[in-house]
Structure 1
Amino acid sequence: MTKKVEAKNANVSYKDFQALHDINLVLENEKIYGLIGRNGAGKTSLLSLLAGYRKATSGEVEMVGETIFENEKAMSQITFVYQSDYKDNHDTIHKYFDLAERYRPTFDRTYAEQLAKVFQLPLNKPLKTLSAGMQSAFQVTIGLANRTPITIFDEAYQGMDAPTREIFYNEILEEQSRYPRTFILSTHLISEMEYLFDEVLVVHQGKLILQEQVDTLLERGYSVTGPTHDVLEAVSGLHVLNEEQLGGTKSVMLYGELTKEKEDEIKRKELDIGTISLHDLFIHLTKEGL
C-alpha cells in the first residue's frame, strides 16, 4: 500500500502561539484514519494543513511527493468537510449539486441525490432554512459524493442525531468498499466511531503523540484487577495509566506490551486481565501523555 500524504517536521504558529509542533506522519491509500484529541489540541490546524488550506510555518506537507499548499492538482484530489454557518446562505442543495458537478470531476450526482433521499434532504429549499441536522447531512453528502482520493471530515456530523450518524457511518464503510480512498475522520465520538478506523492518530497539546493501527493499540491497553497487594506486585515497573480502589480490590489500567512472562505471573496470582476501550485509552494517554 503506497503512501498518499506525508508531513515532515511540520509546524504551525499563529503569532506567538504554536498550534502544531514537529508533526511527522504518513497516511497511506485506502485507509480510514480516526483523528482524536482534546479541545484545542490542534486537530483542525492539522487537518487544514493536510487539506492544503494552510501553509506550514515550517516543514513540509506533501501528497505523493508534491507540496499540497497552493498546488491546484493536489488540492483537486482533496475534499475537506467542516462545520459551516449557513444562516445567510440562500442557495439550495440543488444549486450546490450543480456547482459540484461543474467543478469536481469526481462528483457523482446520482449518488448525491440518492444520499439526499436517504437523509430526507429537501433539494429546493435554501440552506439557511434547514435544521442543523439537515445542514450536517448536506455537508457529508457533498463529502461522500465528491469521491476525491482524500476525504476529510472535521466534526461535520455533529448536528446529526444518532440514527442519522449511523447511516453516515454505514455509508463510509460502503464507500470504502465501492470506491476505496483515504478517509480522515476527526471526532469526539470515539466509542461510537472506533469500529470505522483502520488507524488512529492522537494529537495532544499540538503534538502527534501516537499513530497506530487500532487493533495494535487496543492490544497495548489492558487492565489488571484483584487483591491490592497482588496487583501492585504484578504491575511493578509497568506503565500505569490509572488506578481504582474498591475496598481490598484494586484495578489498574496499563499501557504497553504484555509479555508472556508477565501474563503468566498475573495468571499465577489469579488476577483478572481485562480489555480497555479506545475511548478510555485516549482519556488517560492524553491526561499524562506518552
Structure 2
Amino acid sequence: MTGFGVEVRDLTARYGTTTALDAVSFTLRPGVITGLLGRNGSGKTTALSILAAFRRRTSGTVLVDGEDPWENERVLAGTCLVRESGDVANDQKLKETLEFLGDRRPLFSRELADTLMDRFELDPLSRPDRLSRGKRSAFGVVVGLASRTPLTLLDEVHLGMDAPSRYAFYDALLADWVEHPRTIVLSSHLIGEIERLLEDVVVLDRGTVLTMSDAETLRSGGITVTGPAEAVEAFVAGRDVVARQRLGRTAQATLVGTRADDASRARQTGLELGPVALQDLFVHLTDRPAGATTEESR
C-alpha cells in the first residue's frame, strides 16, 4: 500500500453567505507527505473535512483513490481525519478508544499506539475530557499515526502540544511513514517546524489556491544572501526582499526570484547564497491587503 491519491477540481464550499472554498483545484500524490499550508480562515479545515466526507461540497469534483468519498464505505475505511481536538469520545478511556479502532481499522497498529502512548506519557485509563489540551492533541497524534490509513489527514493536530512533544511527533511521523508509506496531509501554519517533512506543498489563502508545487521547486524560487551588511544591501537593491536579519555587521536577506548572475555576483563580493525557508515564502505569498485579489498580490 502506497496510499490514496486525491484529485480536487473546481471545489466550492459555502456556509450560508460565506464561501469557504472558491473553485479550488489541487492534487495529492499517493505515498507523499504534503503540507496544506494557510493562515487561519484560509479553508484548510473545510478542504480536509470534505476529503474525509465529514462535510458535503457545494460543487466541484473530489476523487479519493479515483472515487467520490461521500458515503463511500471503501474510501472512508481508508481515510482518517484527526483535528486538534482529537475527535474521540470523551466518555471512553483511552485504552477503550484504541481497542475500538483496532477492531475497525484493518491497518491499525496497536504496537505503534502503545509506543506513542509511552512517548507522550498518556495514561491508557484516562478519559479525553480529563486531559490537558496538550495531552488531548498527543492522543490525536496516536490515533492518526497508529491507524496507518492510506489517506491520513492531520489538521493542526499538533498545535496544543509543547515543543518537545511536537518534535517527537514529527520524528515519529517520518519514521513510521518510511516503514509504512501512505499519503499524509499535514495542515499547519508552523511551517518552519514541519518543512523538513514535506515533499509537496499546497498553499491556500482566503478560499483559493495560491500555489501547488513540490517543496524543492518552491524553495528554488528564492535565495538567502548572507555576508557583510553593506554588501548584502547592495546585492538586494531593487529586488523583492521578503525577510531580513542582522547580527552586528553580518546580515541576511531572503529574496523571491533569482537571476542568472546571482552566483557570480555573490562570489565577487564575498557573499554566501543559500536556500530559502518555506516560512518566508509562505509569508510573502499570503501577505496581501484585505480586498486585494490573488493576481494583484503577486
TM-score (normalised: structure 2): 0.84
Is structure 2 residue 122 aligned with structure 1 residue 121?
yes
Q: Which residue of 2 aligns with 1:148?
A: 149
* Aligned-CA RMSD value: 2.8
Distance 1:146 1:282 in 2: 30
Q: Which residue of 2 aligns with 1:207?
A: 208
Q: Which residue of 1 aligns with 2:6?
A: 5
CA contact (8 A) 1:136 1:157 kept: yes
Secondary structure of 1:26's counterpart equals strand
Q: How many residues align?
A: 283
Distance 2:172 2:86 in 1: 24
Q: 1:274 to 1:105 in 2, by over 3 A?
A: closer
CA contact (8 A) 2:232 2:253 kept: no
Q: Which residue of 1 aligns with 2:55?
A: 54
Q: Which residue of 1 aligns with 2:97?
A: 96
What do residues 167-220 of structure 1 show as CA deviations (whole Å, max 9, x unaligned)? Answer: 111111111111100111111211111111111111111111111111221111
Once the two structures are TM-superposed, the CA of residue 157 in structure 1 deviates from its matched residue by: 1.5
Q: Which residue of 2 aligns with 1:161?
A: 162
CA contact (8 A) 1:35 1:201 kept: yes
Distance 2:6 2:88 in 1: 34
Summarize the alignment of residues 19-98 of structure 1 with structure 2, pairs less than 5 Å apart.
19-84=20-85, 89-98=90-99
Secondary structure of 1:67's counterpart equals coil
What do residues 244-269 of structure 1 show as CA deviations (whole Å, max 9, x unaligned)? Answer: 699xx99864323x242455466667
Is structure 2 residue 175 aligned with structure 1 residue 171?
no
The answer for unaligned runs of 5 or more in structure 2 is 289-296
Larger deviation, residues 11-20 vs 223-232:
223-232
What do residues 88-142 of structure 1 show as CA deviations (whole Å, max 9, x unaligned)? Answer: 9231011101211222122122221222122211111222212222111111101
Q: Which residue of 2 aligns with 1:183?
A: 184
Distance 2:174 2:196 in 1: 10
Q: 1:112 to 1:56 in 2, by over 3 A?
A: same
Distance 1:245 1:116 in 2: 40
TM-score (normalised: structure 1): 0.86
Once the two structures are TM-superposed, the CA of residue 285 in structure 1 deviates from its matched residue by: 1.4
Is structure 2 residue 264 aligned with structure 1 residue 260?
no
CA contact (8 A) 1:243 1:250 kept: no
Secondary structure of 2:287's counterpart equals helix
Q: Which residue of 2 aligns with 1:286?
A: 286
Distance 1:214 1:220 in 2: 10
Secondary structure of 1:176's counterpart equals helix
Distance 2:141 2:86 in 1: 15
CA contact (8 A) 1:86 1:127 kept: no
CA contact (8 A) 1:136 1:160 kept: yes
Q: Which residue of 1 aligns with 2:134?
A: 133
